[in-house]
Amino acid sequence: MQGNDACAEGAMAAGCRFFAGYPITPSSEVAEQMARRLPKVGGTFIQMEDEIASMAAIIGGAWTGVRSMTATSGPGFSLMMENIGYAAFTETPCVVINIQRGGPSTGQPTMAAQGDMLQARFGSHGDYSVIALAPSTVQEMFDLTVKAFNLADRFRVPAFLMSDEIIGHLRERVEFPDEVECIPPKPIKEGMLPFEPEDDLVPGFTPFGRGHRVHVTGLTHNEKGYPASTDPDLHEKLVVRLVEKVERARHEIADYDVVNPEAEIVFISYGAPTRAVRQALLDAPGKTYGHLNLRIVWPFPEGLLKKFPNARVFLVPEMNLGQIAREIQRHVDQPVIPIPRLGGELHIPSYLLKSAGEQE
C-alpha cells in the first residue's frame, strides 16, 4: 500500500469522520482516499475552495465533536497558517497532514523535501506550541496518523503529520491492527469553565451542543472564553500556558529509536532520511555510529541527546538546509553538522558514511 493511502486508513481507524481539503500534489491521494471512505461510514468529505477555508472547516468540524483532518503540501500549508494559529489559540484538536514537497513557493510539486519543519512549529504569528510527527515507513504513516489524533485530543492542539513525497508515495507492506486505541479529549469537569486548565494545563473539551455554553474566539480570552484582549497579565498567562502545556510533556510523549548509544559520531534524523541512515549503518558493519531517529520532532525532546554520553559530534541529514540541526545545536556543546540535501531526492547512504568518516 502507498504511504498516503495508509495515512487515510490510519485516520479512518482513529475515527476521523470529517475531512475538508483542497487537493495538492503530492498529498492528493490522502484526500482521494478519504473521499472514497468517509461517505460509507456516515462521515463527511468536503472539497473546499482553498486551504484557508479547509483549515477553517476542520476547526468547525472539531467543535462539533468529530475528529477532523485536512491534508496538504507546500503552498497549501502556507495558506493554512493563519487558521493554524486560530486552532492553537482556541485550543481546537485537529490533524493536518503535510506531505512535504520542494519549496519555497510552488517549488517542486513532485519532489520530496522537509522544508516546512520550522514553519510547522513557528509558522503562524504569536507564540504557541504544536505537535509534529515524522513517519519514515508506510507503517508509520498509519500508526503516527492515529497517534496524531490522540495527541491532538489530549493537548487540544493542532497536530501535524510532517511526511514527505518519498514516504507518501512509497509502497510497502503495512499491517493494520484489528483496532487502534482512540482516546477522546477529557470533558469539562463539573464546575469548571471551558478554558480553565486542569493540572496538566489543558482545559477539558466539550464540543458545542453538549451542555456547556462555550464561546470561541481568536481574541485573547478569559477562562469563560470571552474576549479580554487588553489585560496584559491575562494575555501573558494564557500564551505561556498554551506553550507550556505541550512543551513540558516533551519527554513524556517522545517517540524515538536509539542505536549504538556508546558512539562518538551520532546521526540524528526523522522522516525519509532515517531510511538512508539505517542503510548506511548496515553498509558499514565495522563502524559504530550512533543513530537517534525521532518520530515526534515538536515538541523537541532535547533530553534524548544525553542518551549518547560519548558523542563528539552530531550529524543531521535533512532534506532542508538544517532546520532541526539548528534546534539541536541550541541544546548541546558539541558541533552539530547539518547534511542538507535539496532538490527532491533522498540522501545516498555512501555519502552519509563519507560525512561520518570525515569526523573520525
Interface residues toward other proteins, by CB under 8 A? 26, 109-110, 165-166, 169-173, 272, 275-276, 278-279, 282, 345-346, 348-349
Residue 7 or residue 336: which is nearer to other proteins going by CB?
A: 7
List all residues 6 or more positions away from 289 whose beta carbon is below 8 Å from its beta carbon.
260, 263, 265, 266, 267, 280, 281, 356
The answer to whether the beta carbons of residues 100 and 72 sit under 8 Å apart is no
* Rg, the chain, Cα only: 20
Report the alpha-carbon distance of residue 323 to residue 28 in Å, rounded. 26
What is the smallest separation between the CB atom of 172 and other proteins, expressed in angstroms? 4
List all residues 6 or more positions away from 316 whose beta carbon is below 8 Å from its beta carbon.
267, 268, 269, 322, 324, 325, 328, 336, 337, 338, 339
What is the smallest separation between the CB atom of 118 and other proteins, expressed in angstroms? 25
Residue 138 or residue 297: which is nearer to other proteins going by CB?
A: 138
Residue 11 or residue 272: which is nearer to other proteins going by CB?
A: 272
Beta strands in 103-142 (DSSP E): 108-112, 131-133
What is the smallest separation between the CB atom of 41 and other proteins, expressed in angstroms? 24
What is the smallest separation between the CB atom of 97 and other proteins, expressed in angstroms? 18
What is the smallest separation between the CB atom of 259 and other proteins, expressed in angstroms? 12
Extract the C-alpha cell encoding 315: 550529524
Residue 60 or residue 109: which is nearer to other proteins going by CB?
A: 109
Residue 2 or residue 320: which is nearer to other proteins going by CB?
A: 2
